[in-house]
Structure 1
């Protein structure tokens, strides 16, 4: 009986250690987070996770992108998309607000509300927008000029890597 209790205690300590060393990252947004037009393994969340693991970081990057989503859509699913235990959110949202008739001010306000709610939960927020825009300026988009190519996703992941590492 003593051996069983010791074994269970060791398993519990091991499980707690594994959880403590595992950082949860959520990539949150619309179609570029979803990986529209590329395979799931080529989308920046999967590429970033692979880059982190190659550096010995046991981080998971959960892609929570929904094609066509807006800041109000993200706000509506924020609690289910960003579970307890999430430490960092990579946020890439706002373009569809404008494409669907909203203003830049409305998109910024929606983005600000998302970031505020996450920060209130003590979750670090990384704005992926500037890195996405840099990929677009480099021509790393599909024919529509909006969605990133596989090379664009790799570029975005490489730019985000030092921010989450």
Structure 2
């Protein structure tokens, strides 16, 4: 769980077909023999079977893994109120064939995530939404460590699934660790996104951080209404790549 101790009314929130071408072969018609050998063609798929196979390849369900902190886990809320579940609803409404897996964990740091990702990669994934780093920032962990851990997570995912698309949730922290640290922390995410050709959500908590009515009593975790805005922030970047 995120913990934040600083004064002020502003509280930043943290934590993140190709369609198969149906071809039909037409046999050459001779001037003498016009019948086909039933034994020879008995194992050939019919046109309906070909069409069914094509349709199945188009509608095969793919997987989106949401990997993050308590923000992704939906701390203090029902799992169906967390933004990954809300995005699953949007996917269903759009009639897209993707399954969402919520792998958010309260208190997760990039170092812990770098270890946990190995187990999660045992299942195939097509898209990764990476939301880690906020807990590092709140603890004042050296930025070089955070950067290296996020890079290693990215490398592991791409090595296992080279075609995976990655969406990186940008984070910000208050200046309690110093303005220099806060500014460099904010810059870390777009830098990683550019380096690794990832889609960037500039700030996951845009429109929620610092808005009291959109946060729970701890002033840190979004309410159900706040999670809807998180879902909107992510969906704007995620939808174009589905």
- Per the normalisation by structure 1, the TM-score is 0.80
CA deviation after TM superposition for structure 1 residue 37, in Å: 1.1
Partners of 2:204 and 2:233 within 8 A in 1: no
Q: How many residues align?
A: 161
Is 1:149 aligned to 2:223, yes or no? yes
Within a 5 Å distance, the mapping from 1:43-58 to structure 2 comes to 43-58=82-97
Within a 5 Å distance, the mapping from 1:3-152 to structure 2 comes to 13=53, 18-19=59-60, 22-120=61-159, 121-122=161-162, 123-129=164-170, 130-134=202-206, 135-139=208-212, 140-152=214-226
Q: Take 1:109 and 1:138, find their aligned partners in 2: how far apart are those partners?
A: 32
Partners of 1:27 and 1:65 within 8 A in 2: yes
Residues 1:65 and 1:106: Cα distance change in structure 2 (over 3 Å) = same
Higher helix proportion, which one?
A: 1
Partners of 1:119 and 1:125 within 8 A in 2: no
Unpaired runs of at least 5, structure 2 = 1-44, 171-201
Unpaired runs of at least 5, structure 1 = 1-5
**Structure 2 match to 1:159:** 233
- Per the normalisation by structure 2, the TM-score is 0.57
Q: Compare CA radii of gyration and give the structure with the larger one.
A: 2
Most deviating of 41-50 and 109-118? 109-118
Q: Deviations over 1:10-61 (max 9, x none)?
A: 6x94765543xx2210000111111101111100010001011111112111
